[in-house]
Amino acid sequence: MHWVVGPVTTVLAASFVIFVALALAPGDPVARVVGDRATGAQREAARHQLGLDEPVVVRYFHWLGDALHGDLGTSLISRQDVASLLAPRLLTTLTLVLMSAVIILVIGVALGAVGGVSDRLRPFVNGVTGLGVAIPSFVASTLLIGVFAVQLGWFPTYGSGAGFVDRLWHLTLPAVALSIGWVAYVAQMTAAAVKEEAVREHVETAVGRGLPRSLVLRRHVMRNASIPVLTASGLTVAGLVAGSVVVETAFGIDGVGSMLVKSVSSKDYAPTTAISVLVVMVFVVVTTVIDFVQTRVDPRLREHSP
């Protein structure tokens, strides 16, 4: 039961904090609707029509009730339903996140495993991962656009493409830019976990008995190191949704991240609230799945779970 109650409680609490924080933030969204030259009566009429004259707690429960029925509100700027605005952008962002996650998990875990078991290659892995962690996403985006899009012309510089293949082509550079820092982080966590497990007594005993090194690495080292690697990888994938804001803006991708930037700058409450809660939900779902999988991988953790 706690696998459901805990996440739901967390999402509800986060949605309340987000809603109240946006309502109390400086700026008047009514001014974006009626204009600067509107009279006081027109402003009050618009405020009443939008429901902004009610207490913030009442407005939150109205929003929550509508959201539970699939109504995320209406954008103050575009006058369109938020759910219809999010749907195509959500697909673009999910594709970008999925491509980045594949890059991170494949390269990050492989690079970290090499750095954990090979004394000769460990300095190289440490240097590469140190450089990757030091490069922000917006710097990586600028470098990739300048080299592979502008100079070499291998990839487009703008947009998310149309159709499956064209979308993959457009999102390749953004996915690489988004994943560079996370690849380095996962590689460092994997290398540390593998290195720690590789020197344990039962591993050395297995090697001394003449078991193949690949078998020892797979059954004893990687399996025992999978818990911290799984945690790091899961949190990384969850963080990609929030990190996509910078990359989508740099590459002109019409996704959830770029929509969040536009909504915040225009004080458009409905899409800002919906996207912020969506990001929280992704974190909660991913962390819950991580906890569940960890208890299945390592039965000892079940004793500590409520």
Residues of the chain with pLDDT under 70: 1-3, 27-40, 42-43, 46, 49-53, 197-225, 294, 296-306
Question: 24: burial class by Cβ within 10 Å (0-12, 13-18, 19+)?
Answer: exposed
CA 133/CA 221 separation, integer angstroms: 25
Cα angle 52, 54, 59; round to 5:
80
Torsion angles phi and psi, residue 209, rounded to 5: -80, -5
* Both structure tokens of 44: 């009050």
| Cα-to-chain-centroid distance, residue 301 | 26
DSSP bridge pairs for 74:
81
Residue 202: the pLDDT is: 63
Is residue 29 exposed (0-12), middle (13-18) or buried (19+ Cβ within 10 Å)?
buried
Express each pLDDT in 182-231 by its tens digit.
888 888 888 887 777 665 666 666 666 666 666 666 666 666 667 777 77
Contacts of 180 (CB under 8 A, 6+ apart): 132, 135, 137, 140
Q: What is the model's pLDDT at position 287?
A: 80
- At 117 the pLDDT is 75
pLDDT for position 73: 82
Residue 204 to residue 139: CA distance in whole angstroms: 43
State the chain's mean pLDDT as an integer: 79
Structure confidence at residue 8 (pLDDT): 84
Cβ neighbours around 60 below 10 Å, total: 18
